[in-house]
Structure 1
Amino acid sequence: MPIRVVKGLPAIGRLSEENIFVMDSERAESQDIRPLHIVVVNLMPRKETAETQLLRALSNTPLQTKVTFLYTASYTASNTSQEYLETFYRTFEEIKDQYFDGLIITGAPVEQMPFEEVDYWDELSEIMEWSKTHVCSTLYICWGAQAGIYKHFGIHKEDLPNKLFGVYEQEVQNTKPMLMRGLDELFYMPHSRHTTVSESEINAHPQLEVLVRADKTGVGIARSYDNKHVFIFGHPEYDRDTLYQEYDRDRQQGLEIDIPENYFPGDDPTKTPIIRWRSASTILYTNWLNYYVYQETPYEVSELQSRPIEETYIQDWVI
């Protein structure tokens, strides 16, 4: 089924070239279908790239999904024009009275700053607090995952001695949760970050579980047991060349940057990277959208606020 977005969004053309069905809002209005409503807080500096990656990841499902992108009104983006944002994005103020089936909060290049010093932290905190009553399940990516697990559960981030940069093997710790359904016990995921979260703090928290980890990366994926919060500390949605673009950008700026690990064949930057993470990415986003959003959200999504607490606890099962 198609992804529904605002008419004219540049990502529509790029995804259509990949035979991904993206429907603009004008055509969608003619169809009598209740789509899933997903809101994306896009904090990435290259917003068009992040849009394409996330829409691609959400497209591999039979569910029709309507996506609304948010930008932070408390921070002026330096890499995206205000005209673009006002055309294709909304602010929290514009949507805060609405209810959504799912929420995605992306990464951001602010991980080495204390959370409270980030310009838009107060606004993002308000959005995360709002999500408790207005969203069925939230997926947090990279810095977004660090921010979410800190905001909701008090888990702190820690500086790494060196940037974690490359494509790393990940090991599933518990195969029973539906988010893990169909994943190999070992799979690959891109990471690009200077910080990590405390695995021991997560293990000690009664509401949290580590689902995926590796000695090299630490925690790769964690969840709250009610599945209202899914934290992915890498970037399974990344394109083939995303790590290369980051590597080349830092080199051009004269920054110290190592070649991304396990990325270029033979560690040779002149060779084309081989994608080893796309199937795992498809499974993760599809499972989240199906099992933790579609299977649990009420048909009238506004009923989320009135549901008893015990009814919002999603039970995993094995078939």
Structure 2
Amino acid sequence: MLEHAASGEAGFAETAPPPRFEAAAPAPRLRIGLLNNMPDTALVQTERQFRRLIGGDVELSFFSLASVPRGPLARAHLDRFYAPHTALASAGLDALVITGSEPKAARLDAEPYYADFTGVVDWVAQGTVSTLFSCLAAHAAVLHLDGIERRPMATKLSGVYSCATSRVHPLLAGLSPVMPVPHSRWNDLPEAGLLAKGYAVLRRSDAIGVDLFVRDASSLMVFLQGHPEYETDTLAREYRRDIGRFLDGSRDTFPDLPENYYTDDAAAQLDAFADRARRHRAPALHADFPAMDATPPRPAAWQDGAARLFRNWLALVAANRALRMASEAVA
């Protein structure tokens, strides 16, 4: 029997070896770019904010528009860590985040960087799987793409606002139907104008209008009027900056306190300082501004939702990249 078994006879049929399956190669890491147009004072902070939301599981590269005016310290940082926007087309990016910038001109198309910016917008429409436009970048993009003009508001919109889902979309998967979102802007986009041009509004508020909207064509364009990337103290730092500008005469009106942001005790202290500053306006008074740790904001209730929003966006980028690669392989 042993001989028969060894030879494969007497009922011991020889069988083919089991098939070998090659493990599928892991998908390459997403390559995400950040085109950071923020002013010098917020350049590194904005870089840190988006780096936190995008996470460490992607290849993140930094780019800048040469036409955005810079001081020597910011220029040195950009020269060391950033590539020029002209390198975007050869960077092999899957997606791009484009930040806004502090407005300097009454019209966006009069900003010194507008021509370079619109060239990038034209490229991303075909050159990336998706692009996310933040605040003023969203305003400039829809002006270029569809001629939608932003509208100036009587006062700056600043604070944390409840924004409600208005349309089901994978970007909002797992998020509560109403989410707090920081906003900080002087201008607004008309919801009716966006809808008329085919944009889909995903989240909005009766108090502040559109928060999040998209344009889904060959490349998914995501537009944010708010700032989900903000850290806990970002609005406080902006408020302090704007008070300094009032005290030194750079702006005519005292800034409003950010809404739904400070604790009640902090708001009372800041309101008392505001009354004093309006009566005795002087640059030296800035030294008496209440300390940041003495006037704390409320906990940053928007940050978990912001992290989920960006995870959803990256998942969409990965899925759409896979579809695009499969389509190219068939072609």
TM over 0.5: yes
| TM-fit CA distance, 1:299 | 8.9
How far off its partner does 1:95 sit?
3.3
Q: Are the counterparts in 1 of residues 35 and 85 from structure 2 also a CA contact under 8 Å?
A: no
* DSSP 3-state at the match of 1:108: coil
Between the aligned partners of 1:285 and 1:295, the Cα distance in structure 2 is 14
Whether contact under 8 Å (2:104, 2:111) holds in the other structure is no
Q: How far apart are residue 81 of structure 1 and its match?
A: 2.8
- The C-alpha deviation readout for 1:227-246, integer Å capped at 9, x for no partner, is 61110100000000000000
State the alpha-carbon separation in 2 of the partners of residues 33 and 180 from structure 1: 24
Is the helix fraction higher in 1 or 2? Answer: 2
Which of the numbers 13, 29, 45 marks the counterpart of 1:35?
29
Matching residue's letter, 1:35:
R
Matched, 1:209 2:234: no
Count of residue pairs brought into register by the alignment = 270
Alignment gaps of 5+ in structure 1: 1-31, 312-319
Q: How many angstroms does 1:79 deviate by?
A: 7.4
Other-structure match for 1:28: none
Q: Is the 8 A contact 1:265 1:272 kept in 2?
A: yes
The CA deviation string for residues 129-160 of structure 1, in whole angstroms up to 9 with x for no partner, is 11122111000111011112222232210001
Residue 181 of structure 1 aligns with which residue?
173
User: Residue in 2 aligned with 1:102?
Assistant: 95
* Among 189, 194, 214, the residue aligned to 1:223: 214
**Per-residue CA distance 1:235-272 (angstroms, 9 max, x = gap):** 00000000000000111222420110000011344432
2:321 partner SS = coil
Of 109-118 and 126-135, deviating more is 109-118
Higher relative contact order (CA 8 A, sep 6+): 1
- Structure-1 separation of matches of 2:234 and 2:144: 28
Deviation at 1:300, TM superposition (A): 8.9
Question: What letter matches 2:200 in structure 1?
Answer: E
Out of 292, 310, 319, which is 1:295 matched to? Answer: 319
Question: Where in structure 2 are the equivalents of 1:164-203 lying within 5 Å?
Answer: 164-174=157-167, 176-203=168-195
Identity, in percent, stands at 28
Aligned pairs for 1:81-120 (under 5 A) are: 81-110=74-103, 113-120=106-113
Alpha carbons 1:111, 1:194 under 8 Å: kept: no
**Partner-residue secondary structure (3-state), 1:193:** strand
Following superposition, the deviation at residue 162 of structure 1 comes to 1.1
Which residue is equivalent to 1:271? 295
Q: How far apart are the structure 1 equivalents of 2:68 and 2:195?
A: 34
The alignment partner of 1:155 has SS state of coil
Cα distance 1:272–1:160, how it changes in 2: closer, same or farther (>3 A)? same
RMSD: 2.4
CA distance in 1, matches of 2:212, 2:117: 21
* Cα separation, 2, equivalents of 1:307 and 1:245: 50
Aligned-residue offset at 1:33: 7.1
Structure 2 equivalent of residue 259 of structure 1: 257
SS at structure 2 position matched to 1:284: helix
Contact 2:262 2:296 in 1 (8 A): yes
More strand by share: 1
TM-score (norm 2): 0.76
Q: Which has the higher Rg, Structure 1 or Structure 2?
A: 2
Contact 2:37–2:68 under 8 Å retained in 1: no
Give the distance between the partners of 2:149 and 2:190, measured in 1 at CA: 6
The 1:80/1:125 distance shift into structure 2, 3 A limit, reads farther
Ranges of 4+ aligned residues in structure 1 off by more than 4 Å? 298-301
**1:53 partnered with 2:78:** no
